[in-house]
Every structure is written in structure tokens, then in C-alpha cells.
Amino acid sequence: MSDAELLDLAQAAAERSYSPYSHFRVGAAIVTSSGDVFEGANIENAAFGATVCAETNAITTAAAAGARAIDTVAVSCLDGEPCTPCGDCRQVMREFGVKRVVMRDGSGRERTMTLDELLPASFGPEALDTR
């Protein structure tokens, strides 16, 4: 799947965002290492700590379906600049080995970064002693 197609799916997911408090609509679409595609949108909650970001929503949906490796995450922010994933989402991406993140804003501007650029010197599963 091309980056443009993946970003289109992320943009469609952003349209389904539940963001009555921030009015900041974000959608994500991911491609797993086996080529499966999953989407997610940010889902806010009046208790802000219970809010789920679009990227984490898509990744945890994929993980619940059995995915363990994700190649690319596409993020579409309909409101404002092309947004980079928050720190929590970056760490979730790190857990599942994301390689690239492609981003698009509501006016069509795009940006691509590697996860290493977004989360340098990161901590991952290999650092744990899992004996």
C-alpha cells in the first residue's frame, strides 16, 4: 500500500474522531509486517487521562488481532499542522518495531520521519531481561 493510500485511510479515520473537548481530530492507519491494515481515531474522554490517541488506538487494535510487528504508521491531523505522535504513542510504536511515520495535515502538507528520528536513544523490549 502506498503512503498516499495509507494517509487517505488515516484522514478518513480522523473524520470519525470523537474529540468534543479539544476539537483536534486525528486519525491513524498502520500497515503490519504481514501487510494487514488497521485504522484508529483519537477518542477523548471527560476524564482526560482516559483519552486514547489515534495511533495507539490503531496499534492496539492490530495487536489484539495478533499483529506483533508494524512497518508504517500514517497520521492525519485535520486541524492544524502535520502533527507528530505524542511521547506515549512513540513508545507504543517502539514496542511494535515501527520503522516509518508518515504525517499529513488538513491542507495536504506531508512529512515522513523514522521512529529513530522521533524517539532517539529509546528504550525497548530488548532492554528487559525476560528470562
Per DSSP, the three-state class of 40 is strand
The type of residue at 109 is R
* CA 131/CA 20 separation, integer angstroms: 45
- Are 72 and 46 within 8 A, CB to CB? no
Catalytic-residue membership of 44 = no
* CA 15/CA 26 separation, integer angstroms: 8
Catalytic residue selected from 5, 55, 117, 126 = 55
Q: What are phi and psi of 95, to 5 degrees?
A: -60, -35
**Active-site annotation, residues:** 55
